A and B are shown apart, each in its own frame.
Chain A
Amino acid sequence: TTTLRFHSGYAESRPEAQHLNDFAAYVDELSGGELKIDVFHAGSLGLSEPDMLRVLQRGNVDMALLYGEYYTRDAPALAAVYAQGAITEPGQHMEILPIIREIYEEGFSKWGIQTIGGIVSPVFSVGIHCKEPINSLAQLERKAIRVWSSQLVDAFDRLSISAEVIPQNDMYMALQTGVVDCAYYLSTVAETVSLHEVAEYEAYLHPWAAVPAMFGVSQQTWGRLSDDHRQVLIEAGEYMWEKTGDAAVDPVREQAARERRESLGVTILDDFSEEDVSRFQEAAMVAWQRIAERAGDEGTRNYATVTEYLQEIHD
């Protein structure tokens, strides 16, 4: 039997980790136990996300979960493929997804990485979670807000709102102690980080434009595998892609999560107004474009491809 080591940065409690275990089980089944995937969750191989392109290129690990957003240093063009503000309806995500996948597959192959399907991240709701009732951009102007990327800092800055990148692990403390007044966060999973304990009010802003997590295989490993085993990997990867894709947009899940948060004492305010949403989107798109341009020709090209398709979808 052949065993492949698979790196993932997700903690074992995350649904993505469960998907990886399912993938491993399916590969085992398809190959009749001849090909095994040994998943190392939570970065336990000691590898860190920004290095993964280099690491796979050199074949230091067999497989890894590739998450385009992380590669600002080594492949800025890949980090700028998709960004917040790109979509305003969850369904749009599913329409744009094939294009995004194509760009990533091409980009990763330039690093000598074979891509075989992956995990479509669920389209969660993104909300603004505050200590006070806030559901308009005007109210946010006097507040400090926690965000997760430099694109978002730039976007909020264009709306005269002071934003700061704070890692998810420090978010609770930052709200508790008042370093920030609000957090821009995935409402659907806010409970897992106990956000309701430090921010009692929430208002819906837009759906999460989630970069898919692709399964990358190093060229060295790919070269060593038999045709049968390659086929097994492709089939299992595609299976995970379909399976997670089908579950990505789920209004029932979103509604249940919302009710759950209300039962925890969160006051859910009216959504941000349409006007606010489009102001935010405009600012986010400009910020996205700036990042793409900084990434050079390839970045600009990727940005143009994705936004053209988005334009068609929006129309």
Chain B
Amino acid sequence: MNWVILSVGLFTLLSSGAVLGAALGLIGFILLHFQAGGSSSLAINSAWNLLTGFSLTAVPLFIFLGDILLSSGVSTKVYNGLTPLFRRVPGRLLHTNIAVCTLFSAVSGSSSATAAAIGSIGYPELKNRGYSPSMVVGTLAAGGTLGLLIPPSLALIIYGATQNVSIGQLFLAGIVPGLMISATFSIWIMIRSKVGSVVVPDEQEPVSRSEILRGLLQVWPLPILIFFVLGTIYMGVATPTEAASLGVIASVFMGFTWGDLTLSKLWSAFVNATIMFSAIAFIMLGTAILSQAVSLLALPREAVAFIADLGFNRYGILVMVIMVYIILGCFFDGISLLLMTLPITFPMMMALGFDPIWFGIIVTLLMEIGMITPPVGLNLFVLTSITKNEVSLTSAAWASLPYWLILLGAVGLYTLLPGIVLWLPGFW
């Protein structure tokens, strides 16, 4: 009965176009009241506990940080500074998209913020130079996904805070996979620019070493910012929330001195970021209630028992879980997917003996896959709207397919060789 209410409820309420947070919370209330002996009061306890916890305070701070960088024009400077570096590599400026997304990911906690920040600069620039628009959109949608894997990451913060896993360790674990995937994206760009239809214009602009050097010198403030948000965490000087606050203050300072931030731009960055945060917070509220219901009814334990009866080994079960995430990824993505599924999948994976840090990275990868899986894919939405629909959702999705496959391949690789993920945190 619990499972019927849960699945029918989710299907009906979500497909009706109701506000996601309210729908999730209502199902939670129904389960708590009718199935758990009138325990709906527990919903408030769990909402209160989640929303007053310190670790989650990093979430709005990282959103503030991203919006301040976006509105201060800092991302434009970085983009232009890195452009000369890639003029000679096959695929040329397409690599700039990946490289700048990778760098930007090291200060931004969010994936679509990364896609939006770099996309709004990169797309017009490359389109004017004659690059294939859909190819450009593909690199941006894919590059954006790095925002969640390369620390700092909202996904890892929320995973760590809700499942009680060390956020610092998760951040360490994300670095190697993030850089590997970024490099694989670039390799694919090189291959694609040599094979098949023409996606890179035949542009013969000579570029001198000094030009490259000058470009690189132009981006010097960025490593400082990366130091504030990442260095301080790894040196143990600051918790992720504290590092985020250092990052916000540093980005305001940078915006005023190096970028073109003004007081009114700063204020609207805060306003926009707050709207974005509030949308996430409502979902967190709804899932706090749903999770309480799910765990009070011991549904994860039931699910584990049920799956164990099927007679799969733990990898068989993992494959099933991955498939469920990919299917759900068509309709949900990002933090909503994470928050909705963890109450069941986390205890299940832990019961099967998987590593909590490793699973955090795998789930994050699956979320990123969801961001570029149509029909509901946030990065695809962001980019089609940046192109003013010159690139349709469908062609953006097709253009993202190679990167989608790379991300899925990464899930497979890290499952076979979990050491790649756990190697770096092992040193701490």
Contacts and interface: CB of A to CB of B under 8 A. Distances in A.
Contacts of B296: 45-47, 60-61
B268 interface: no
Interface residues of B, number: 27
Most chain A CB inside 10 Å of its own CB: which residue of B45, B46, B166: B45
A296 interface: no
Interface in A25-60: 40, 44-48, 50-51, 54-55, 58-60
Interface in A172-211: 173-174, 176-179
A169 interface: yes
Contacts of A40: 298
B234 A51 contact: no
A178 B295 CA distance: 37
A174 B236 contact: yes
Contact of A46 (B164, B236, B294): B294
B166 A169 contact: yes
A178 B39 CA distance: 44
A173 B236 contact: yes
A54 B298 contact: no
Given A55-B42, A177-B235, A46 B292 contact: yes
B39 A60 contact: yes
A44 B46 CA distance: 13
B234 A177 contact: yes
Nearest to B32: A60
Interface in B269-321: 291-292, 294-296, 298, 300-301
Most chain A CB inside 10 Å of its own CB: which residue of B237, B296, B298: B296
A46 B50 CA distance: 11
A48 B41 CA distance: 14
A170 interface: yes
A295 B301 CA distance: 39
A50 B300 CA distance: 23
A69 to B, nearest CB: 17
A51 B49 contact: yes
Contacts of A61: 296
A60 B42 contact: yes
Interface in A46-100: 46-48, 50-51, 54-55, 58-61
B6 to A, nearest CB: 15
Interface in A139-178: 169-170, 173-174, 176-178
B168 A44 contact: no
A45 B428 contact: no
B347 interface: yes
Contacts of B49: 48, 50-51
Nearest to B292: A46
B168 A48 contact: no
Given A46-B291, A55-B42, 13 more contacts: A44-B300, A44-B301, A44-B347, A46-B292, A46-B294, A46-B295, A46-B343, A54-B45, A60-B41, A173-B168, A176-B428, A177-B236, A178-B236
15 contacts: A44-B300, A46-B46, A46-B294, A46-B296, A48-B45, A48-B46, A51-B42, A51-B49, A54-B41, A58-B39, A60-B42, A61-B296, A169-B164, A173-B169, A173-B428
Interface of A: 40, 44-48, 50-51, 54-55, 58-61, 169-170, 173-174, 176-179
